[in-house]
């Protein structure tokens, strides 16, 4: 007899079977034991009679979250009295029970949690492997899987090549701030803030269309619900574009594909339609000012402003996404292309989803002389940027791309309040364990 999942056993509906799983609940009665067994596919009640001998004796030793292997006979579970809509279910009458791993009796956090015994967030992260045994927490990573599957599927359909860029860099990427410095033999190295430079190198190499998924590091001393120091980034970059609107159109297609895959899980989710609404930053500021919402920065949006403009767009256009376009140069890095007719604005955008920024993208500056000039204006050190600038010295096509924070998307889809809840092992200012 081979082991099968609980879902497969219920589909089998009769006969003998062998199961393995966690003891989620345990009720010992005189001459009878009831065990709720849990595996990835679901739950099943086990019934152990005293007459089974060794199996019953083993059941008496059990603790919650122990791992057991059982053999038995499937029986249809009696329906509850006076249940007007009984659902057909099954239980397993046990003949053999083996304890594979006996759990400590005192669980540090509840796995079968109720409102009155829910662990606080930090305790949950201290015992993350127990916390993730809860189906609703584990489902978050099923959402992750399907979301990335859909994202990748669209890019592969459009002939993108996946690349893998290094996390260790000789110079600080992006602005040079908020980076983790590490000892690298007899040199200094930095953990990558972004694969941006290497994505552009691939374009200069003639790849034309590239994407990647991988870790990103930000040395931000932030304690907000939307920041962590290490997160997963999704990036793509492609050549021969006309403007940043080409980039937005591709991201729309990728996200529609991604959301459709998540929808297949049975998650309550609205799959977006294209085109997504688009507003310039200047128009967004005007709309918010008219509502009396104060602006902390002229060149960027505060979290409150992001929430409010998404609420307005949802009411006016019925859409959960919003592209905010044409940010001023003060809010953007040196490599963003600027408008020829308005050099104070960049060909860039942020994508907001349900009140939260999830993407930054732009057309990049590919002309070496202009790029050097913009770097100097941003007080960047050209010598430190030498390797990057060399990418453009021997010809580079017009191009652009995005960096997506999928954890924020998952956070909103899953309906949780803190981005750390959708990270497998979150890292923040204070947390490096487990």
* CATH code of the domain in which 371 resides: 3.30.930.10
**pTM to 2 decimals?**
0.91
CB atoms within 10 A of CB 394: 8
Let me know whether 150 and 57 are in one domain. Answer: no
In a domain, residue 430? The reply is: no
In a domain, residue 244? The reply is: yes
CB atoms within 10 A of CB 417: 10
Q: Whole-angstrom Cα distance, residue 176 to residue 236?
A: 22
In a domain, residue 325? The reply is: yes
Let me know whether 209 and 61 are in one domain. Answer: no
Domain span at residue 43 reads 6-101
Q: Which residues of the chain have pLDDT under 50?
A: none
Let me know whether 417 and 274 are in one domain. Answer: yes
Let me know whether 79 and 160 are in one domain. Answer: no
In a domain, residue 150? The reply is: yes
Instruction: Tally the domains of the chain.
Output: 2
Let me know whether 97 and 143 are in one domain. Answer: no
Q: How far is CA 122 from CA 145, 232, 304, 335, 363, in A?
A: 25, 21, 26, 39, 40
Let me know whether 61 and 146 are in one domain. Answer: no
Q: Whole-angstrom Cα distance, residue 292 to residue 290?
A: 5
Let me know whether 59 and 145 are in one domain. Answer: no
Partner residues linked to 166 by β-bridges: none
In a domain, residue 118? The reply is: no
Using the 3D structure, point to which of 53, 77, 101 is the last residue of a domain: 101
In a domain, residue 124? The reply is: no
Nearest 10 degrees: CA dihedral of 203, 206, 207, 212?
-20
Q: Whole-angstrom Cα distance, residue 253 to residue 275?
A: 9
Q: How far is CA 283 from CA 175, 325, 345, 394, in A?
A: 27, 10, 14, 39
In a domain, residue 153? The reply is: yes
Tally the C-alpha atoms within 13 A of residue 29's C-alpha that lie toward its C-beta.
8
Using the 3D structure, point to which of 84, 101, 118 is the last residue of a domain: 101
Q: What does DSSP say about strands 42-49 and 90-101: parallel, antiparallel, or unpaired?
A: parallel
Let me know whether 146 and 45 are in one domain. Answer: no
In terms of Cβ atoms closer than 10 Å to its own Cβ (0-12, 13-18, 19+), residue 70 is buried
Let me know whether 166 and 75 are in one domain. Answer: no
Residues 6+ apart with CB under 8 A from 139: 265, 267, 414
Let me know whether 38 and 173 are in one domain. Answer: no
SS3 226: coil
In a domain, residue 281? The reply is: yes
Q: Whole-angstrom Cα distance, residue 353 to residue 333?
A: 23
pLDDT of residue 42: 93
Q: Whole-angstrom Cα distance, residue 367 to residue 388?
A: 13
Let me know whether 299 and 244 are in one domain. Answer: yes
The CATH number given to whatever domain includes residue 70 is: 2.40.50.140
Let me know whether 11 and 153 are in one domain. Answer: no
């Amino acid at each position: 007899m081979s082991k099968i999942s609980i879902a497969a056993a219920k589909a089998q509906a009769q006969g003998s079977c062998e199961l393995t799983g966690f003891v989620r609940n345990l009720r010992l009665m005189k001459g009878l034991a009831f065990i709720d067994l849990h595996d990835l596919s679901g739950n099943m009640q086990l019934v152990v009679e005293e007459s089974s001998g060794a199996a019953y004796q083993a059941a008496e030793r059990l603790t919650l979250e122990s791992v057991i292997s059982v053999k038995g006979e499937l029986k249809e579970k009696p329906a509850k009295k006076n249940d007007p809509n009984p659902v057909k279910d099954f239980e397993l009458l046990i003949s053999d029970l083996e304890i594979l791993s006996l759990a400590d009796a005192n669980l540090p956090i509840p796995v079968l949690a109720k409102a009155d015994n829910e662990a606080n967030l930090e305790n949950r992260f201290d015992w993350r492997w127990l916390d993730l045994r809860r189906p609703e927490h584990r489902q978050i990573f099923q959402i992750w899987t399907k979301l990335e599957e859909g994202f990748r599927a669209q890019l592969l359909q459009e002939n993108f090549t996946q690349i893998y860029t290094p996390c260790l860099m000789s110079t600080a990427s992006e602005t040079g701030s908020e980076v983790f410095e590490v000892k690298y033999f007899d040199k200094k190295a930095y953990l990558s803030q972004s694969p941006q430079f290497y994505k552009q190198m691939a374009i200069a190499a003639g790849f034309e269309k590239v994407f990647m998924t991988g870790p990103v590091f930000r040395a931000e001393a932030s304690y907000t619900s939307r920041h962590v120091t290490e997160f997963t980034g999704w990036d793509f970059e492609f050549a021969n574009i006309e403007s940043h609107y080409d980039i937005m159109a591709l991201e729309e297609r990728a996200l529609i594909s991604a959301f459709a895959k998540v929808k297949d899980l049975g998650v309550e989710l609205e799959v977006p339609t294209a085109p997504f609404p688009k507003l310039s930053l200047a128009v967004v500021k005007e709309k918010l000012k008219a509502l009396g919402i104060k602006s902390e920065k002229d060149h960027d949006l505060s979290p409150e402003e992001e929430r409010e403009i998404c609420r307005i767009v949802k009411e006016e256009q019925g859409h959960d996404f919003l592209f905010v376009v044409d940010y001023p140069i003060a809010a953007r890095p040196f490599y963003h292309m600027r408008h020829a007719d308005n050099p104070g604005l960049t060909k860039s955008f942020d994508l907001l989803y349900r009140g939260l920024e999830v993407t930054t993208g732009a057309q990049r500056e590919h002309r070496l002389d202009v790029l050097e000039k913009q770097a100097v204006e941003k007080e960047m050190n050209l010598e430190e940027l030498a390797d990057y600038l060399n990418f453009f010295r021997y010809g580079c096509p017009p191009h652009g791309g995005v960096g997506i924070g999928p954890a924020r998307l998952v956070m909103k889809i899953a309906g949780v309040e803190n981005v750390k809840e959708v990270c497998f092992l979150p890292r923040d200012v204070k947390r490096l364990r487990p």
